[in-house]
């Protein structure tokens, strides 16, 4: 029996740059219709010129694939309404990073002073530009996301017309916040639906499962699964697929990120089938995102899968994927665009 998915979207994706961009961008572009592309390059994408240049490099990397990169800017509190109006037609969202909290985020927000943030966030509200947030404090690693919920509440209350996306949520506290504020939404990754901290560090350390936010407790995973499997209208798929070369992952200073782009659709299909919710995968993987990001246009693409074993390659270039060398149960048999 085949399963067909229409215009799948990845609403949180890292494509990097240079040689890495050339390696990973075609993998997402092959199976997804589009993706929200993160701006935390070095230097960050924080000008119109940088955004247009990065979009051009992505286009060159993906070649003839039917795929739309939805571009983002790295948040700065000094953006003016005039600047944002000048880039609005090329911009899908702005990404806010707390300073130093994750990969290439040193230029992020050092404090959450409403007075300092108000000019940019007010302009974003007026122009209907969503704010995507990496929601972690610099506290104890298992508590960082739960501690950040109070900042989400502050932002949601002070900027009620601002659409706020809680990125790659990992905790039951974040799930609970979804229904308390009309303007809060969330992305959920594949790996956080699959693993807990025990999978990362409960036995032998698994560097290719280390990510930020770190995987949490079983009860947190269950909260994520509940809203994902029911395709809660305020959640959507965002892989946070974050490639690093093998030597950067398998080292004493292990880089944070799980690379799932090439197998995300296949494993999501398997997961939703296992939990008897396959009828909700289309909404989680595309429909909800199109409702939340109501201004995006989405290329047509049909992905047809069959239940047939597929051996995941051990590496793509220098990047080791999730389930490297292992067999997964679904194979993409046909792609129509």
Q: Known catalytic residues?
A: 240
Question: Across-strand partners of 335?
Answer: 303
Which residue, 318, 260, 255, is CA-closest to 103? 255
């Amino acid at each position: 029996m085949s399963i067909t998915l229409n215009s799948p979207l990845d609403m949180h994706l890292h494509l990097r740059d240079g040689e890495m961009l050339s390696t990973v961008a075609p993998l997402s572009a092959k199976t997804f219709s589009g993706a929200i592309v993160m701006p935390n390059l070095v230097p960050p994408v924080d000008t119109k010129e940088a955004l247009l240049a990065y979009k051009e490099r992505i286009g060159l990397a993906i070649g003839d694939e039917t795929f739309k990169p939805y571009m983002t800017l790295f948040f700065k509190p000094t953006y003016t309404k005039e600047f944002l109006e000048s880039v609005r037609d090329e911009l899908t969202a702005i990404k806010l990073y707390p300073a130093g909290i994750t990969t290439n985020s040193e230029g992020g927000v050092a404090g959450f002073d409403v007075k300092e943030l108000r000019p940019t966030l007010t302009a974003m509200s007026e122009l209907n530009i969503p704010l995507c947030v990496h929601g972690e404090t610099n506290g104890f690693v298992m508590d960082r996301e739960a501690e950040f919920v109070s900042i989400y509440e502050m932002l949601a209350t002070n900027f009620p017309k601002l659409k706020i996306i809680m990125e790659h949520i990992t905790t039951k506290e974040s799930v609970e916040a979804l229904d308390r504020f009309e303007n809060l939404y969330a992305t959920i990754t594949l790996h956080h639906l699959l693993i807990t901290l025990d999978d990362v560090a409960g036995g032998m350390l698994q560097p290719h499962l280390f990510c930020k936010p770190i995987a949490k407790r079983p009860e947190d995973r269950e909260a994520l699964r509940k809203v994902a499997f029911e395709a809660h209208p305020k959640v959507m798929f965002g892989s946070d697929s974050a490639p690093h070369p093998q030597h950067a992952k398998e080292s004493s200073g292990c880089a944070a990120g799980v690379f799932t782009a090439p197998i995300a659709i296949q494993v999501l299909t398997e997961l939703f089938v296992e939990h008897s919710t396959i009828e909700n995968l289309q909404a989680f993987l595309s429909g909800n995102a199109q409702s939340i990001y109501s201004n995006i246009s989405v290329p047509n693409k049909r992905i047809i899968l069959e239940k047939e074993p597929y051996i995941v390659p051990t590496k793509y270039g220098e990047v080791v994927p999730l389930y490297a060398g292992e067999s997964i149960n679904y194979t993409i048999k046909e792609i129509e665009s």
